[in-house]
Amino acid sequence: MKSLEFQRKLRTSVKPVIVDIWAPWCKPCRAMEPTFKQVSEDYKTRVEVLKINADESPEVLKALKVMSIPTVLAFSGDTELVRRTGMQTAQSLQAMFDAAVNREKPAVMPIAMQDRMLRILAAAALLIIGWFANRSIPLMVLGGLVLFTAFYDRCPIVKAIMEKFRSKKSTPNTSNDSPG
């Protein structure tokens, strides 16, 4: 697919568009394929899916500034709503499809499982080091904060705050600031 053809598809689609950039040699792409297929089947009447082979469409990858695959993008018209790189879980894909259907950026995207595990391990290491370093409060607080980053996407308080922040940011100022 050429870049101009891709841009035309985005502009002319009446539905939001999910773009899956993959390659046949990419193991994470192949591993994610069944999950992506299932989620896209659930949304087939509400979203258009474009599968782009990275080897056959380097122009599109360059135009989108895609540096690695798999990359999944959600568009509303020609506006990019969400971009995720790497193998995605069903929950993450559903959040992307929901963002596309709602035509707005999600308040909080789920964290990929490998990122969550890495954060948990880093937090555990900081907490253990803090404990054995004469109960270092700064290290243990840092460990707690890193642990929180592993689960913030599941926190209802964070979701509520982010939704409130997004609604305030998107609401135009209606007050009349002119004198008189």
82 shares its domain with 133: no
What residues form DSSP beta bridges with 85? 71
User: What pLDDT sits at residue 28?
Assistant: 93
Last residue of a domain, one of 77, 102, 127: 102
Overall average pLDDT of the 157-178 stretch: 65
Q: Give the residue with greater pLDDT, 120 vs 171.
A: 120
Cite the active site residues: 26, 29
**pTM of the predicted model as reported, rounded to 2 decimal places:** 0.67
User: What pLDDT sits at residue 107?
Assistant: 63
Overall average pLDDT of the 105-121 stretch: 80
| Three-class SS state of 71 | strand
16 shares its domain with 94: yes
* Percent of the chain at pLDDT exceeding 90: 56
pLDDT-derived band at 173, boundaries 50, 70, 90 = low
Q: Give a yes or no: residue 174 inside a domain.
A: no
54 shares its domain with 87: yes
Question: What is the spatial distance between Cα 77 and Cα 94, in angstroms, rounded to a whole number?
Answer: 19
98 shares its domain with 117: no
Question: What is the spatial distance between Cα 24 and Cα 20, in angstroms, rounded to a whole number?
Answer: 13
User: What pLDDT sits at residue 175?
Assistant: 47
155 shares its domain with 87: no
Q: Give a yes or no: residue 107 inside a domain.
A: no
Check whether 14 has a pLDDT greater than 80: yes
Question: What mean pLDDT is reported for the chain?
Answer: 87
Check whether 40 has a pLDDT greater than 50: yes
Report the domain count for the chain.
2
Q: Give a yes or no: residue 129 inside a domain.
A: yes
Q: Please give the residue range of the domain that contains residue 148.
A: 113-169
63 shares its domain with 143: no
CB–CB of 70/34 below 8 Å? no
93 shares its domain with 142: no
Q: Give a yes or no: residue 179 inside a domain.
A: no
135 shares its domain with 92: no
